[in-house]
Amino acid sequence: MIHLQNVEKVYRTDTIETLALSNINLHIAKGEFLSIMGPSGCGKSTLLNIIGLLDAATKGQVLIDNQDTTHLSDKAMAQFRNKKIGFIFQSYHLINDLAVQDNVELPLLYRSSSAKERRQRSAEALQKVGLSNRMKHFPKQLSGGQKQRVAIARAIVGQPEIILADEPTGNLDSAMGDEIMNILLHLNSTEGTTIIMVTHDEYMAKKTHRLVRLFDGSQVQ
Ligand code: ADP
Ligand code: ADP
């Protein structure tokens, strides 16, 4: 479902060129749960941003669902991203002055869904992560693990085929990390969502189907 062919990423400014990714070839099947590991600065976030159509490769091809995304306009790319991809970050990226349920509804605002539909779908997503009892709370009233569950609900509310997770357990203690990992594993096995997760944690990576290691912008495994 996701094919990267000879992907290269160079960050350029007037004075500096940084080769962040070089000759990446990666084929990710529908329903696969893949983890990406490697030292800080090796290109993990860059790779996730390229797969998530948040940033463009400087060379090579990125195919998602057999569609070549390399030459899409910014608008088409945003639509594609909104429809197919959900994002989860290490630091949750919730909006503090919106209640939990309103945070979860954010991705639906770009779609033509009614307020009633949004209410229903956000409630369902929160139920899937076990937070039906926190819908009216605000992020600061939640634990780290609960905040990440809200972020997962926000990522899945639009029923994306792909979830990209950048160190989803990085800020959590091991019990909460396990809880988040179990939700992702369950989502992957019951709904067939393709998940790509960056992690520093070998223990979490071992629970996924496949591990890709990066070093200095190249695939080493
Ligand atoms: P990781 O996620 O593995 O820590 P990144 O993908 O963030 O690595 O970064 C890969 C390399 O690209 C690093 O050497 C980093 O300094 C460089 N880099 C990342 N973003 C930019 C940017 N916007 N401009 C220039 N260089 C960047
Ligand atoms: P955010 O979730 O706020 O975007 P990042 O994931 O970008 O934060 O992390 C910031 C920096 O810290 C990145 O360069 C990242 O590679 C590094 N980093 C994050 N977690 C770890 C970790 N567990 N061990 C080592 N470096 C880490």
Q: Which atom of ligand 2 is nearest to the CA of 89?
A: 2
18 Cβ closer than 6 Å to some ligand 2 atom: no
Residue 167: left (phi > 0), alpha (psi -120 to 50), or beta?
left
- What pLDDT is recorded for position 66? 86
For range 116-139, the mean pLDDT: 96
Based on the structure, what is the number of domains in the chain?
Answer: 1
Considering only CA atoms, which residue is closest to atom 13 of ligand 2?
40
Q: Of 195, 221, 202, nearest to 51 (Cα)? A: 195
Closest ligand to the CA of 87: 2
Percent of the chain with pLDDT over 70: 100
Helices and strands of the chain, counted as H and E runs:
7, 10
Residues 6+ apart with CB under 8 A from 15: none
Find the domain containing 64 and state its range: 2-219
CA of 151 to the centre of ligand 1 (A): 24
CA of 125 to the centre of ligand 2 (A): 27
B/e letters for 93-130, b = 16+ CB within 10 Å, e = fewer, are ebeeeebbbbbbbbbbeeeebeeeebeebbbebbebbe
Is pTM, for the whole model, over 0.90?
no
- Report pLDDT digits (tens) over 31-85: 999 999 999 999 999 999 999 999 999 999 999 988 899 888 888 888 889 889 9
Q: Which atom of ligand 2 is nearest to the CA of 44?
A: 16
Which residues approach ligand 1 with their CB closer than 6 A? 11, 18, 20, 38, 40-46
The best mutation among 14, 24, 46, 164 to test binding of ligand 1, ranked by most ligand atoms within 8 Å of the C-beta, falls on 46
Could you tell me the CATH number of the domain that includes residue 65?
3.40.50.300
**d(C-alpha 201, C-alpha 164), whole Å:** 16
Q: Which of 176 and 110 is assigned the larger pLDDT?
A: 176
Considering only CA atoms, which residue is closest to atom 26 of ligand 1?
11
Q: Which atom of ligand 1 is nearest to the CA of 16?
A: 25
